[in-house]
């Protein structure tokens, strides 16, 4: 009969291997999750988290009572989210189809290499580049001025901030987002195209009946993942530009949590907003995944039948 300590002794190397990583995850991932209790407290820095008084759900009141700053943040987040799912999510699919239709493998690889380079640059770098090119004294406006044409006011202009943010994400991430679609396209069986051509399908019909069904599962998967961060719309990107365009046009939920909590020390309310935002994200992923299953897609994961 096996003694209770046989398994740990047998697996001691695996157990030791797990320790450092597990410790780090518990300390820097799960300990902060516990720290969310601050959302239910009136945090007093001099008392510490443990001794600060409990205040029930009063920190969450801002969510239902409609604090104007919170509503601004929520509204901006929604608009940017719709722009990002509508444009930043779909355009790479078109880009992948375009690239996939090229015949030369070499050309394909070169274009790909160029297009996904910006993904590896930090937001500070990307915004520096945008400011430099589109700013008031940048090359485009200098050219327009020298030729007595009106200048275009993009950087620091609150009216076009959401479009600018979308353009920046597109520049940075479109090439990277394209890779997974390209991989899915390359797995489509060429015989399907041949068979459909024999049946007299034109290019558009092939696109509809062969290419898009081949992409469907990866589109569903990525859309589910995207929904999980739907409320996360470029925190670093926006905080870097907030000074220039002002709060009204640029405050989103994450910057609200930062500005309200860390900058203005309204810890409890900020943590409450952050907590609800996180829970909504989890609910969106799980919900979208369930919906995908209903429609017969594999989705993110599938409960194994055991």
Partner 1 sequence: MSARGSATTVPVRAAKGVLLTVCCALIIVPFVGIVSTSLSTREQIVRSGGFVVIPDEVTFAAYRALFTGGVVPRAVAVSVFITLVGTALSLASTTLLAYGLSRPGSFAHRPVLMVVVGALLFTPGIIPGYLTIDLLGLIDSYWAVILPAVVSAFNVVILRAFFMEIPSELVESARIDGASDGQIFARIVLPLSRAVLSVIGLFYAVGYWNAFFSALLYLNDAAKWPVQLVLRTYVVNQQQLGVDQVGTADLPPQEALQMAILVISIVPILLVYPFIQRHFTKGVLVGAVKG
CB of 189 to partner 1, least distance (A): 10
CB of 153 to partner 1, least distance (A): 16
> x/- string (CB under 8 A) for partner 1, residues 190-209?
x--xx-xx-----x--x---
Q: Residue 60 interacts with partner 1 (CB under 8 A)?
A: no
Q: Residue 186 interacts with partner 1 (CB under 8 A)?
A: no
Best CA proximity match to 123, nearest among 229, 228, 238:
238
**Could you tell me which stretch among 67-75, 101-109, 212-220, 289-297 binds partner 1 (CB under 8 A)?**
101-109
Please identify which residue in 20, 53, 68, 200 interacts with partner 1, judged by CB under 8 A.
Answer: 20
Q: Name the residue nearer to partner 1 (CB basis): 123 or 249.
A: 123
**What is d(CA 51, CA 42) in angstroms, rounded to the nearest whole number?**
10
Name residues whose C-beta falls within 8 Å of residue 130's C-beta, 6 or more positions apart in sequence.
Answer: 155, 164, 167, 168, 171
Degrees, nearest 5: CA angle 286-280-76: 130
Residues β-bridged to residue 54: 41
Please identify which residue in 261, 289, 292, 299 interacts with partner 1, judged by CB under 8 A.
Answer: 261
**Could you tell me which stretch among 69-77, 78-86, 98-106, 290-298 binds partner 1 (CB under 8 A)?**
98-106
**What is d(CA 241, CA 272) in angstroms, rounded to the nearest whole number?**
25
Please identify which residue in 57, 71, 82, 121 interacts with partner 1, judged by CB under 8 A.
Answer: 121
CB of 165 to partner 1, least distance (A): 14
Q: How many residues does the chain have?
A: 306
In three-state secondary structure terms, 41 is strand
In three-state secondary structure terms, 119 is helix
The residues in 144-163 that bind partner 1, with binding defined as CB under 8 A, are 145-146
């Amino acid at each position: 009969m096996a003694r209770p300590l046989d398994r740990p002794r047998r697996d001691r190397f695996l157990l030791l291997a797990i320790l450092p990583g597990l410790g780090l995850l518990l300390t820097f991932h799960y300990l902060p999750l516990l720290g969310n209790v601050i959302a239910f407290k009136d945090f007093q820095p001099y008392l510490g988290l443990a001794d600060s008084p409990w205040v029930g759900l009063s920190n969450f009141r801002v969510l239902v009572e409609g604090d104007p700053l919170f509503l601004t943040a929520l509204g901006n987040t929604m608009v940017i989210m719709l722009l990002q799912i509508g444009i930043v999510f779909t355009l790479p699919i078109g880009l992948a189809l375009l690239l996939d239709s090229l015949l030369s493998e070499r050309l394909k690889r070169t274009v790909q290499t160029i297009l996904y380079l910006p993904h590896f640059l930090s937001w500070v770098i990307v915004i520096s580049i945008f400011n430099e090119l589109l700013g008031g004294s940048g090359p485009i406006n200098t050219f327009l001025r020298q030729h007595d044409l009106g200048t275009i006011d993009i950087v620091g202009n609150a009216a076009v901030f959401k479009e600018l943010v979308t353009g920046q994400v597109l520049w940075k991430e479109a090439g990277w987002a394209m890779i997974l679609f390209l991989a899915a396209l390359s797995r489509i069986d060429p015989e399907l195209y041949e068979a459909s051509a024999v049946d007299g399908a034109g290019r558009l019909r092939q696109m509809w009946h062969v290419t898009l069904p081949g992409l469907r599962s990866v589109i569903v998967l990525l859309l589910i993942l995207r929904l999980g961060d739907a409320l996360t719309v470029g925190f670093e990107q926006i905080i870097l530009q907030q000074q220039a365009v002002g709060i009204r046009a640029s405050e989103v939920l994450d910057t609200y949590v930062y500005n309200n909590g860390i900058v203005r020390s309204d810890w409890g309310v900020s943590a409450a907003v952050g907590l609800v935002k996180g829970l909504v994200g989890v609910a969106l992923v799980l919900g979208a995944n369930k919906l995908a299953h209903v429609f017969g897609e594999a989705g993110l994961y599938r409960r194994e039948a055991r």
